[in-house]
Structure 1
Amino acid sequence: MAIKNTPTEIRWNPEQPISEVTQTSDLTVSPEVIEEIADLRAQIGKDLVMLGHHYQRDEVIQFADKRGDSLALSQYAAKVEEAKYVMFLGVHFMAETADMLTPKDVKVILPDKRAGCTMADMADIDDIEDAWEQISAFYDTSKIIPVTYINSTADVKAFVGEHGGTICTSANARKIIEWALSIGEKLFFFPDQHLGRNTCFDLGIPLDDMIVWDPEEPLGGHDQASVKDSRILLWRGHCSVHQHFVPEHADSWRKRIPDIKIIVHPECSFEVVQKADYSGSTGGILKTIREAPEGSKWAVGTENNLVNRLGNEMVEQGKEVYSLAPYACLCSTMFRISPEALRESLKALTQDEYKWLITVPDQIRNLSNLALERMFKITG
């Protein structure tokens, strides 16, 4: 394994040669820490599967046995027969999903339990249950289909499972929302309003048919008539990374490089998505750029670690890949999975200790898996 201890690159300046990129900082990880991680990983061997999310920093993701998005990684872990442990180099909700999909005797570990997800935290289960109760006072909630983005807590996944709903990813959101609206009068979408809005608009649903539910306001900030008349209820949540992208970023790039293509994640705002040439999931972004013609130029509206690795990968094909924003858009919570935290977690594992064990209670696990099973059935 080639061990890296260099800082993350930021590819954003179109006036700078592709071979000369700036750095996020001058800090480097101690080579001793990296070497110790490699030694500990080798010592544990096949008992451990390490999963690395696309947004993870280079110094950490280099140790992953598999890279991908959260659901695909959890599905991969569930199929690994020899593993006793799964270590998720991601955030808390991802580790929860891995725990739900793997056998109960497999221990799921998150190297830093502070590595949460701000979007997932915006949809608190108590607030969702309160919203459901408020609506039930004047509307038949059996006609509302709740759908939660995979970027949500196990409690929220269990809620949609219990109430006849399901889960979606950014890749299958269109198919899931089509299903929901085919069996219900309304959709209640958690926790990312932007993914919900962008997908529904793409399905031909007018913006006027959508309202944003603010959990801090009675009836989400609306009156009963507005809730009854709306077709789509969007929870007031967003991604702290993708909210940084604004329409002016697209305008700036097109002014500098007229033939540049702009591709963004659907967690970006409606205004940004409308400015883009393409919008798609993380996997969709990777596939689109990898299959693009040689020499093409791209500005990408998603997390910087992914953009940097993709840009370096595309150099040999003569493609230029930059971040849409003129500053680093990093997932700060995932960044808490530091090389030092990874080292300590591996060290604990060699001593039959867990830093940190993620366990979903049985009742929550069962209801969440019900929602996941519906998703798999709908999407085939």
Structure 2
Amino acid sequence: MAITKTVSLPDEYRALSMEEKINRIKAAKAFFGERLFIPGHHYQREDVIQFADFTGDSLQLAKKCGESNAEFIVFCGVHFMAETADILTNSTQRVLLPDLAAGCSMADMATLSQTKRAWNTLTDMYGDSIVPLTYVNSTAEIKAFCGENEGACLTSSNAKEMVQWALTKKQRILFLPDQHLGRNTAYDLGIPLSEMAVWCPIKNELEFTDEANRENVQVILWKGHCSVHEKFTVNHIQELRNKDPQINIIVHPECSHEVVQAADEAGSTHHIIQIIEKAESGSKWAVGTEMNLVNRLAMKHTDKTIKSLNPYMCPCLTMNRIDIEHLCWSLDSLKNGTYQFQISVPPDISKYAMIALDRMLISVK
């Protein structure tokens, strides 16, 4: 089979009717059978998620891909997720991403060169007292850096367990690349804001709060964020509560600390889904996470009122890149003997990234 690097979607796929696209995808799934596995993240579009063999959050998808024996994994998510799938599968399996433009702005906020520069500066300051932890929303290179330096990977589902684990190893944590998840997790574990500092990769320096100082810092937060979850504000919460005091506010911990503290509930994508599913019929919920998931929850739980915390929120632009046309193209190409957009992590990176991922997965077994 050939590996193609073609980027543009052929015009013919836009010209197909919805019925034709659906039928082609169904035909491809029937053709490959158990040789094909399509994992789909909860944030994917409705026209794509309908074809997923398994739907989950980052942690669930990582575990499922690692357990899969499928020859081909066509990943409906974003680039770092496909990289993780490639790391966790064996050399005979191939991971494909229907659209290479499906990336993650947060993952792009921490490059390997920035991280190495930060590490050199921080170890000069603090010596051998830091464990690096990276959110799964990061590149394979950053995961490998953490694995090589006694650190680990984590997701929002097991962030508390991994932070606790890291603090049994050394005195301090460097938390990449999402400052909000790191801050909210550490705070929930009883670490005060005065013992946290922010690493700015642009200035290559630590930024302290008024109460913090160099000596008392336990958690060093990388200055990165999710472009979707940062758009939820305390004003959104106040406005909704003023209109309807009975509404429940639940948000993802990628939201700012102020928003998480003002909400009634906060937790991972999986946690949000579970809370909504168990909620009483007739209850009202404003959800601070990606719009595709919010809309799906509202359609599924019609006995409850479910809406976005931000009424003007749009779906994640990069998650939304994978549409039914790109999925159809990817599967057609596979049937025709072409590995369209194969994601392949180099062995030297995969080796250490696997160490970081193993430490994450062990915590949830």
- Report the TM-score when normalising by structure 2: 0.91
Cα displacement (A) at 1:29:
7.1
- Residue 5 of structure 2 is matched in structure 1 by none
What is the aligned-residue RMSD (CA, Å)? 1.8
Question: Which blocks of at least 5 consecutive residues in structure 2 are unaligned?
Answer: 1-15
* Partner deviation per Cα, 1:1-41 (whole Å, 9 max, x = no partner): xxxxxxxxxxxxxxxxxxxxxxxxxxx97433333222333
Counterpart of 2:248 (choices 241, 261, 264) is 261
- The correspondence for 2:47, drawn from 59, 63, 79, is 59
The answer as to whether partners of 1:262 and 1:278 remain within 8 angstroms in 2 is yes
Of 283, 307, 330, 1:345 maps to 330
From 136, 139, 150, the counterpart of 1:150: 136
Instruction: For residues 258-309 of structure 1, give each alpha carbon's deviation from its aligned partner in whole angstroms, at most 9, with x where no partner exists.
Output: 1111000000001110110000000100111111111111000001111111
In structure 1, the residue matched to 2:287 is 300
Structure 1 residues 369, 206: closer, same or farther in 2, change over 3 A?
Answer: same
CA distance in 1, matches of 2:248, 2:317: 27
What SS class does the counterpart of residue 33 from structure 2 fall into?
helix
**Aligned equivalent of 1:24:** none
Q: Quick check: 1:326 aligned with 2:311? A: yes
Partner of 1:176: 162
> Which residue in the other structure is 1:192 paired with?
178
Amino acid at match of 1:356: F
Alignment of 1:302-317 (within 5 A): 302-315=289-302
Tell me if structure 2 keeps the 8 A contact 1:263–1:279.
yes
1:255 Cα offset (Å): 1.2
Q: Is the 8 A contact 2:63 2:361 kept in 1?
A: no
1:50 partnered with 2:72: no
Does 1:115 pair with 2:102? yes
Name the residue aligned to 1:243. 230
Indicate the residue corresponding to 1:31 in structure 2: 19
Letter paired with 1:36: R
Q: What is the total number of aligned residue pairs between the two structures? A: 348
Deviation at 1:112, TM superposition (A): 0.7
Provide the rounded CA distance (Å) in 2 between the counterparts of 1:87 and 1:70: 15
Whole-Å separation in 2 of the counterparts to 1:375 and 1:345: 31
* Letter paired with 1:266: P
Q: Paired residue for 1:210?
A: 196
Q: 2:197, 2:206 within 8 Å by CA — same for their partners in 1? A: no
Q: Percent identity?
A: 48
Match of 2:147 among 143, 157, 161: 161
What is the CA–CA distance in structure 2 between the aligned matches of 1:188 and 1:297, rounded to whole Å?
38
Give the conservation status (yes or no) of the 8 Å contact 2:294–2:307.
yes
SS in 2 for 1:97: helix
Match for residue 115 of structure 2 among 128, 134, 152: 128
1:97 maps to 2:114: no
Instruction: Give the distance between the partners of 1:113 and 1:134, measured in 2 at CA.
Output: 34
Indicate which of 236, 239, 245 corresponds to 1:252.
239
Contact (CA 8 Å) 2:197, 2:207: kept in 1 or not? no
Change (3 A) 1:35 1:378: closer
Structure 2 partner of 1:40: 28
- After superposition, the Cα gap between the structure-2 partners of 1:323 and 1:29, relative to the gap in structure 1 and judged at 3 Å, is farther
**In the alignment, structure 1 residue 76 sits paired with structure 2 residue 61:** no
Give 1:186 deviation, angstroms. Answer: 0.8
CA distance in 1, matches of 2:126, 2:262: 37
User: Is the contact made by 1:71 and 1:97 (CA closer than 8 Å) also made in structure 2?
Assistant: no
Contact 2:24–2:332 (8 Å) recurs in 1? no
- Confirm whether residue 201 of structure 1 aligns to residue 161 of structure 2: no
1:301-338 deviations in Å (ceiling 9; x for gaps): 001111111111111xx211111101133110011112
State the Cα distance separating 1:226 from its structure 2 match. Answer: 4.3
In structure 2, relative to structure 1, the CA distance for the partners of 1:269 and 1:29 (3 Å cut) is farther
Tell me, yes or no, if the aligned pair for 1:193 and 1:234 is still in contact at 8 Å. Answer: yes
Deviation at 1:349, TM superposition (A): 0.3
Gaps of 5+ in 1: 1-27
Q: For the residues of structure 2 that align with 1:115 and 1:155, how far apart are their CA atoms?
A: 18
Residue 379 of structure 1 deviates from its aligned partner by: 4.1
Instruction: State the TM-score, normalizing by the size of structure 1.
Output: 0.88
Deviation of residue 219 (structure 1)? 2.4
- Amino acid aligned to 1:33: K
